[in-house]
Amino acid sequence: MLTVHKLVKRFKQVIAVDHLDLYIEEGEVFGLLGPNGAGKSTLIQMITGLLPIDSGTIKLDGQSIQERPTEVKRHIGLVPQDIAVYENISARKNVEFFAKLYGLRGKGLKESVDEALERVGLMERQHHLPSTFSGGMKRRLNIACAIAHKPKLIIMDEPTVGIDPHSRNHILESVRKLNLDGSTIIYTSHYMEEVSAIATRIGIMNEGKCIALGTEAELRQRIASQEKLTIETEEGVESEHHPAIDELKKSAIVLDVHLEGNQLELMLSPHYDRLQDILFILAKHGLSVLTLKRETPDLEHLFLSLTGRQLRD
Amino acid sequence: MRFWHIFWHELSYWLKERSTYVQFILVPLIMIFVLGSSLAGSEVFKQEDVILPVATVGLVGEGNESMAQAFTQFSRHEEVSRYITIEQISTSAALAEQLRLQQVDYGIVIPKQEEASIQLLQGSNHVINLMMTSIVNEFASASAMHALKLEADHTVEDTSGEEQGTSLQDSEPLVSMGLISSESVTAMQYYAVSILIMFLLYAGLRFGSALLVEERSYTLKRMQSTPARPREIIYAMMLAHFILSLLQAGCMIVISAVVYGVNWHLHLGTVVIACGFVTLCSLCIGLIGAAWFRQSKTLHTFMQTIIIAMVAASGGYVLIPEFQQAAGVYTLPYWGMQIFYNQMLNAAPAATQHGLGILALWAIILGGLSLYFSKKVVTR
């Protein structure tokens, strides 16, 4: 459905999107993950025609956004990261205004606006001003404005930022229903559990490139052979340059070490069972172990191991 | 359709805003009243009818009798003879002496050569000097018209003084004393025009701010993600503000005429074109400002400075003729105001057309610049 081929976008010397290739299947929910500055928003802005493309192509159902922007935009609905609604006109008028820009008129317009408001649960507040809404309700209205024209592709750029759990669940439920009704969705988020809950496929972006792509199961498989060991020490480790960390990093059995407060997180080689070697290194540097937890890492750790950064900086 | 949808959305928003009526109609009307009534008694707006004295004009022929005779005959016309009596004087020196002794009020020396210009010697009476300038100008234009007519008829071989004199005598002198009598504008008229032009210039600030608000609330980006083209969005909003300004001008003219009795001497077409050009220029400046500055406060400061400086240089707040001639002519409001004043003083259509031409030139230059900047506003 959506084909991104060798896409490049530069801002002076910085390459925001670097020869990116991506294919989104019709009917899927594609979760797009990446730390701040990974190039997600730049990619979305290029798909929606908000930013010109330096090189490469973006095609929706075979139609190029560069060559036929008006036609392609007709089939895309963008839910921007920031709430983009008029505070001084009613919720219904907001949805109507943007729906009309997609060419909806008359009875079709009324029905589509009703349906969009119904989907996000704002039918009862349709005649109220958004300035009287809670953050969650504004986010839902933000979505309604993007779906009234029934787009083939809905792009949601972090649609749940800063909202209450009730509104978040409502939005996630709306995404599922939209998908069941046939919409293809690109969903970006900083919340791994959200993406995990709704996405059929996940792509991880870093420094303008897609560094991992697949279903959640496929991505988990990449780190299934690793284990995570969390160690809490009595003395606390203040810096990543502690001699104990340096020695642990040099050890063949430790793949990676991160410092989280006074806890050390160690990624270990597969099937490693000589825990005493690690305890020996810590003791050698005067660190007494308080607690020790051994677990299989999740997507968050995959992200960390791939990018070297936390998902939420 | 998208264009008209955005246009109507913008227009209806501003029409529904109560502050629009306060800021753009009520405030200017109050300003017209305050400035117009408080400055009505100042020297420049005094409406005294001057009783013109009969001036004694010394005329020196210096051998060019035909021209001297033509002027004498011109002065005998009923419209002119009410204001002057001619006294023939033999030499320029004698004329200068009589002027010094105030035996004559004004002097005219007609040179020997036809091509040389007539020499005018002003006396001590300012009113008579102004009046004589007007009369001599009229004589000069009547002579020029006569010469052109003769040329057109292919009878220029011998333009004897007799022929010229007869012809000039036949022609109707159109001597006007408008500048020194009750024909000048009143303070209320003056400030009604300057405040109208000033508030038309505020259209640019309103439009630029609206663009920045759309940008700040991310609705501009959202509109761009729809099939609406960037320039479609900008120009639809621009048109809405253009129409708003014309409505504003209409309200101000009608209300000031009814409530304050301002006599606008309107030619509807000219008013619409003049207001249209001033508004268009202002909107273009607003667009350039919005492209240049990202902060609404900076745009406000920029536009306020430009508007206040231009209106002040044009004499919109205080009449400073010398400064207006030196600096005001290079500003937009000066020409907008002149068009209205010319209409109020029933000036020749050429003067109004000249003003409209200059405003059109401004609009073309600013329109071209804003065409370049319009893309920058929506794509940054």
Nearest CB to B5 within list A85, A87, A101: A101
- Do the chains contact at B379 and A86, CB–CB below 8 Å? no
Does A50 contact B9 at a Cβ distance shorter than 8 Å? no
Place of tokens 């609404």: B296
**Three-class DSSP labels, chain A:** CEEEEEEEEEECCEEEEEEEEEEECCCCEEEEECCCCCCHHHHHHHHCCCCCCCEEEEEECCEECCCCHHHHHCCEEEECCCCCCCCCCCHHHHHHHHHHHCCCCHHHHHHHHHHHHHHCCCHHHCCCCHHHCCHHHHHHHHHHHHHCCCCCEEEEECCCCCCCHHHHHHHHHHHHHHHHCCCEEEEECCCHHHHHHHCCEEEEEECCEEEEEECHHHHHHHHCCCEEEEEEECCCCCCCCCHHHHHHHHCCCEEEEEEECCEEEEEECCCCCCHHHHHHHHHHCCCCEEEEEEECCCHHHHHHHHHCCCCCC
Which has the closest alpha carbon to A161: A269, A243, A82, A245?
A82
Identity of the residue numbered B195: I
| Torsion angles phi and psi, residue A139, rounded to 5 | -65, -40
Distance CA A58, CA A78 (A): 16
Which amino acid would we find at residue B223? Answer: M
- The minimal CB distance from A84 to the residues B9, B217, B229 is found for B217
Q: Any CB–CB contact under 8 A between A199 and chain B?
A: no
Q: What is the pLDDT of residues B350-376, one digit of tens each?
A: 888 999 999 999 999 999 999 888 877
Q: For the residues of B316-337, what is the DSSP string, one character each?
A: SSS--HHHHHHTGGGSHHHHHH
Q: A77 with A149: CB under 8 angstroms?
A: yes
| Helices and strands per DSSP (H, E), number in chain B | 16, 4
Interface check for B229 against chain A (CB to CB < 8 A): the answer is yes
d(CA B45, CA B193): 14
Domains identified in chain A and CATH numbers: 2-221 (3.40.50.300), 225-296 (3.30.70.100)
Assign domain B55-179 one CATH number from 1.10.10, 3.40.50, 3.40.190, 3.30.160: 3.40.190
Looking up tokens 């051998």 gives B63
pLDDT in tens, B124-133: 887 788 788 7
Cα-based distances in Å from B327 to B64, B114, B208, B332: 43, 38, 26, 11
Average pLDDT over every residue of B198-215: 95
Give the predicted TM-score (pTM) of the model. 0.72
Tokens representing residue B1 in the block:
């359709």
Residues of B in contact with A50 (CB under 8 A): 221, 224-225
Strands A2-11 and A14-24 come out as antiparallel
Say how far residue A103 (Cα) sits from the centre of its chain: 30
Domain ranges in chain B? 2-45+189-379, 55-179
CA pair distance B186, B32, nearest whole angstrom = 12
Per-residue pLDDT reduced to its tens digit, B64-91? 777 778 888 888 887 788 888 888 888 8
* DSSP line for B207-274: HHHHHHHHHHTTHHHHHHTSS--HHHHHHHHHHHHHHHHHHHHHHHHHHHHHHS-------HHHHHHH
- Tokens 């809405």 label which residue? B240
Please give the full DSSP string across B80-125, using - where no structure is assigned. Answer: HHTTEEEEEES-HHHHHHHHHTTSSSEEEE--SSSSSPPEEE--S-
C-alpha distance from A51 to closest chain B C-alpha (Å): 7
Regions in chain A scoring below 50 on pLDDT? none
**Predicted pLDDT at A3:** 95
pLDDT at B139 over 90: no
Taking an 8 Å cut-off on Cβ atoms, the answer to whether A50 and B225 are in contact is yes
What CA–CA distance (Å, rounded) separates B96 from B49?
31
A175-224 per-position pLDDT tens digit: 999 999 999 999 998 788 888 889 999 999 988 999 889 988 888 777 66
CB-defined contacts A:B, below 8 A? 57
Assess: ipTM above 0.90: no
pLDDT confidence of residue A238: 74
